[in-house]
Amino acid sequence: MKSIHMIRICGVLLALSLGLNTLVSAQTGTENQAQLGVVNFPISCSEQAQQKFETGLANLHHMMYEQARPHFEAAAEVDSSCAMAHWGIAMTSFQPLWHPTPPEGLERGKAAVAKARELGVPTEREKEYISAVEAFFTDPEPPRVSPARDHEARVKAWLEAQQELHESYPEDVDAAAFYALAEVCYAMTQFSPHEERDFTRELRAGALIEEYLDNYPEHPGLFHYLLHAYDSPKLAHKAEDVAREYDELAPDAVHARHMPSHIFVRLGHWEETAEWNERSAAAALRDMEDDFHATAHYVHALDYMMYAYLQMDEKEKARETLEKVQEVEDMWAAAFAAYNIAAPQARYYLEQQMWEDAARLEPGKPAVLDWEDFPAAEAIFYYARGLGAARSGNLEQAENERDEIRERVEIMHAADDAYWAYMSEALGKAVEAWILYERGDTDKALTLMSEAADLEDSMDKHPTTPGEVLPVRELYAELLLKEERFEQAKAAFEASLQRTPNRLNALAGLELVESKN
């Protein structure tokens, strides 16, 4: 792997080859290089603007969007002619992997693109970068009827523009990195129930990144986007080495401390998942004093910690994590934050089979968000309550919770939020199946639970979550075990472990099944 000094020299040579007016020196970026990774992105701006720009870019590659934007804004302040600073502001105004862009993000991004166009740039490379982000902020024609489909169209346009940029400048590592990210982001818009994924786009993104890693061994985007490309049970082993190196690359980036656990979770490495997210949560807690947006990264880490502690049977640490979630006093209203507040509370009770406590879980707590804006997160509360009520004998409550889930599913279908609608529908079916089972309608219960498991398994987990709150396939295996259908139960537990390796309850169930044979 090349040294940082050599990488910076390569950046200068790249600038020369591209004919830029202002070059980044070997010392440029000292405020970000040591702690956030190494970027060398020559732009036609003053040296002071260049330094602030690269700090913003490094944060951007870590998906620290809100942290990146002030650095791009500072670049625009110190060099009022720096069009690429406004490219950076536009790039922080959408989070393509996470969720559709809200109206304020679209407005800010469009304004930033317009400003960049107004200022103009002297190089074709910079023009193409601006054109690429402009593709995302150009309203689709014809207009899409829902935020989800609008987002899909915008990401596809951005993907095509980033591919053209990469093909025009194959030596440009950032162009390659953003193209790889766009491939992964577009793949995330294509979740569809009962359709097998072949991971074509993720594999293409991963292979592209791997072409650049030897020559750019400390580039934050390459590390980060490779982990997202291989964030699946079938591919995670391909990113394990890179995952272990990520926080050494960027020890000051909260998300860099967390991101490797996406791979560790897929491999069932619970101690490492817990350790990395402990450090991420501590860093986010530190940053929350000055940065409100770090609150979302804090609960994101807590959810992964809860998941890992429960798989290690670390009950006391899980209880302490529950208290931390429930004591959150303020929160950035991001969809992934809503999920990461609801999920660990549900996990705590469901994983430990504390059914009566699960049935008493209070929806919409802590009251730090407008929960009605996040129906997928609300459905998790009702899933815990419904399953807990059914399994503790309160079938009337269980039916009410099932109906609450169905209402949220209708809301999500109306918004064309297909992924979360179908995943929540699977939860509602699971609650209904257990109600049927408690009423003695065993065959119908098993059929419905199998359907629910098939629906959940037909779509991979979303990158905002470490895994399903309580996998329905695992519940199906448990029902089969109760009915002493041991071979079927064994097959169901094994299938669940293929999707979510090394889970404590699934392993215990499989061991019990094998003891019966």
Contacts of 275 (CB under 8 A, 6+ apart): none
Measured distance CA(71)–CA(76) in Å, rounded: 9
Residue 194 pLDDT: 75
Measured distance CA(104)–CA(200) in Å, rounded: 33
Residue 15 pLDDT: 37
**Dihedral angle, C-alpha 265, 266, 271, 275, nearest 10 °:** -40
Cα dihedral 58, 265, 284, 383 sign? positive
**What are the mean pLDDT values of the chain's consecutive 10-residue runs (517 residues total)?**
34 36 33 74 97 96 94 98 98 93 96 98 97 98 92 97 98 98 94 80 97 95 96 94 87 85 96 95 88 87 97 98 95 90 98 98 96 97 98 97 98 92 97 98 98 94 91 97 96 96 97 89
Q: Name the burial class of residue 255, with classes exposed (0-12), middle (13-18) and buried (19+) by CB atoms within 10 angstroms of its CB.
A: buried
Q: Name the burial class of residue 514, with classes exposed (0-12), middle (13-18) and buried (19+) by CB atoms within 10 angstroms of its CB.
A: exposed
Measured distance CA(255)–CA(242) in Å, rounded: 15
Contacts of 132 (CB under 8 A, 6+ apart): 158, 161, 162, 164, 165, 178
Measured distance CA(91)–CA(79) in Å, rounded: 19
Measured distance CA(299)–CA(328) in Å, rounded: 9
- Three-state DSSP string of 429-454: HHHHHHHHHHCCCHHHHHHHHHHHHH
The H-assigned helical ranges of 79-199 are 83-91, 103-119, 124-137, 147-168, 173-188
Residue 248 pLDDT: 81
**Cα-based angle 511, 194, 183 (whole degrees, multiple of 5):** 105
